[in-house]
Amino acid sequence: EALWCTQGAAQQWISECGLPVDEDGFIKTSTTLQTLGDTTIFAAGDTATIEGYKRPKCGVFAVFSGLTLARNVRLIARGEPLEHYYPQSEFLGIIGLGDGTAVASRGQLAWRTKWMWDLKDWIDRKWMW
């Protein structure tokens, strides 16, 4: 058996939409998640890269930036100051294996257990809204 995880890739439409993109083709944003080309457009998660905070494309950043994104859309509609999102530099990655277990990794360490699946399930359910 083998498990091969690769980095996410930008969709072609992103580079065609006219907004500034980074060298990998992801939309450039500020820490308020506003695009650098048009502050009335927001981008977050796997479509965007925050200028000065390049991170891998993984769920933890999409989830946390999504909370700031939701707040900022409401704040800009009310004309209030926006919040900033500063992504963490380290994270715990957990991949479910489909058999009730999961592999967790952080830095160079990795381990597979049933309780890692339980932790992933709990985290995922906590963040659904």
pLDDT band at 101 (very low <50, low <70, confident <90, very high): very high
Looking at the chain, the whole-number percentage of residues with pLDDT higher than 70 is 93
What pLDDT sits at residue 4? 64
The predicted structure's pLDDT at residue 1? 64
Query: Tell me, what's the pLDDT at 88?
Result: 86
Joined together, the tokens standing for residue 86 give 């500063």
Q: Transcribe 46-109 into DSSP letters.
A: GGEEETT------HHHHHHHHHHHHHHHHHHHHTPPPP-----S---EEEE-SSS-EEEEETTE
Task: Over range 56-71, report the average pLDDT.
Answer: 84
Instruction: Say what the pLDDT of residue 114 is.
Output: 94
- CA 40 – CA 46 distance, rounded (Å): 19
Instruction: Give the percent of the chain with pLDDT over 90.
Output: 54
Residues with Cβ within 8 Å of residue 45, at least 6 apart in sequence: 61, 62, 65, 66
pLDDT in tens, 6-49: 677 888 888 898 999 999 999 999 999 999 989 999 999 889 99
Report yes or no: 57 and 73 within 8 Å, Cβ to Cβ: no
**Strand ranges inside the chain, DSSP E:** 27-29, 48-50, 93-96, 102-106, 109-113
Long-range CB contacts (< 8 A, 24+ apart) of 117-121? 119/94, 120/94, 120/96, 121/96
